[in-house]
Structure 1
């Protein structure tokens, strides 16, 4: 990763693929287990909407709280901490973020971070796990329903992941991932409303587990799809990622995507100011508590210089 204070060279962060779907002609191998499971999950989420009026207010608040924890496990954890090393976290915070990441159930931290590094290094090529040039559906969810392109596997093996291998929290979560997912993604969200304030297990399961999980998944996927297709590019008009307010809301601050791909080392993934970025607020709060340190930032002169050189002229 580039150090703060230097403008990352576009050649190392973004590589343009051919026009149109870069994997055209590549035969897709459908993973039917994933198709069925994703279909059942989303059917269950739609059904859960019927239960919303019947649930206790505390249950709805709990489901939203679980959504925020889930999102932080991805945004502050797998993404900004472990993928980009944009700040440092003390052991208690890393343990919390690992548990939150298990609640997110989006592959373990090691695999998530490795694939995300491939996404940045080989963006919009066949080595990008969710290459947006293969269409909206593929970049949103389709990439999880088929076998990985061989380039994703080949190039992924060449990435430097020594820091992930050396992190005992990452390795512990990877070793016990299935058990931690069952507990954090399904058991804990379901049992808390039932045990503490007497909500039915049925409502607890479908609202705090299934609906919350489906909404959180799609919030993350919006970054891969919508934020690579719709929006402006004030920092670098030559790359696909864009600024998108909708994604910012759904992914608690990850919608400033043109900025993020231009300055991937920046812990805030956006310019500081009044931007809606709950993940940045969380990291800043952890710094106040002494649990996070060494936040990396792009400097104002660096940002302005990059805007003038490669931006599309929008604010």
Structure 2
């Protein structure tokens, strides 16, 4: 396109032609695109300038927050509220809401709706983060674009009555932006400053950028890497695969071929693995009476599916053992 021709178009028309030239099926949400891009650029700059020197308490606290926010996503939004893989009493629900808010995600209702769509229409044009559109789109690009008509129509088919009828989730949804701001940014940063007198710039670097973006991208690898790389011992006919790297950084969410074969299983995996902390935490809360009715696939169900649909890959985990022997 020549400069003269480009000048003859209005700015919205130019953006529209730019989107089409890139082959997008969705319109770009330019505010989201700019905000996400600038947040990453600022995060790299700020962390490079101010992350060091750092007190050891700040690093440990960032790691604790990484684990807690990860459990808010995996144990809360994913296994509890999306798949109803177990039931939780009020203290655990409130704890999971706090952890989820600290992760800086979209609201639980939005998260659950999108993930239920993903399972029902996995890797089709109706999937919000369709892996067939490439790694960038399935990882973070889908957050920068408007949902296409098929995704919007699919969303209308999803039963959200369990979420809409939950009084505590309704309150959480109503005030979510304020709660997220408090638990994801203000409190973690302020505690580092108040409790061990960390430099405020350093505290911001470790909580608002390093910790937040690390968990943000770890979670997104489930949509991207776990739909691109790995083996498929349970169902070779679907795209989701077993991916140890994803399972490690997400504390158990990367055994994705199993999860899509048995989405109701609270473990999100057949086997026991050291880094499946999401399962360990749920088991802990079961022991103290806060979690109950844990659902899981039986060995007969697993073997039947694997024998009929699996790719023949033996499931062998040298650092673990079968989880069913542990519970």
Q: Please, what TM-score do these two structures have when normalized by structure 2?
A: 0.86
Q: CA deviation at 1:275?
A: 5.1
Distance 1:186 1:301 in 2: 46
RMSD, aligned α-carbons: 1.4
Q: Deviations over 1:162-199 (max 9, x none)?
A: 10111122111110011011101110110001000000
What does residue 42 of structure 2 align with? Answer: 44
Distance 2:211 2:272 in 1: 29
What does residue 282 of structure 1 align with? Answer: 281
Distance 1:233 1:39 in 2: 34
Computing the radius of gyration over CA atoms, which structure comes out larger, 1 or 2? Answer: 2
Residues 161-240 of structure 1 aligned to structure 2 (within 5 Å): 161-240=160-239
Conserved in 2, the CA contact under 8 Å of 1:63 and 1:209?
no
Distance 1:151 1:126 in 2: 6
What does residue 15 of structure 1 align with? Answer: none
Q: Secondary structure at the match of 2:221?
A: helix
Distance 1:163 1:209 in 2: 32
Residues 295-310 of structure 1 aligned to structure 2 (within 5 Å): 295-310=294-309
Distance 1:49 1:224 in 2: 28
Q: Secondary structure at the match of 1:303?
A: helix
What does residue 128 of structure 1 align with? Answer: 127
Distance 1:249 1:263 in 2: 20
Conserved in 2, the CA contact under 8 Å of 1:71 and 1:104?
yes
Distance 1:234 1:51 in 2: 45
Distance 2:42 2:292 in 1: 40
Conserved in 2, the CA contact under 8 Å of 1:243 and 1:259?
yes
In the alignment of these two chains, the number of paired residues is 292
Q: CA deviation at 1:60?
A: 0.5
What does residue 67 of structure 1 align with? Answer: 66
Unaligned runs of 5+ in 2: 1-21, 315-327
Q: CA deviation at 1:49?
A: 4.9
What does residue 118 of structure 1 align with? Answer: 117
Unaligned runs of 5+ in 1: 1-23
Q: Secondary structure at the match of 1:266?
A: coil
Distance 1:312 1:245 in 2: 17
Distance 1:272 1:295 in 2: 16
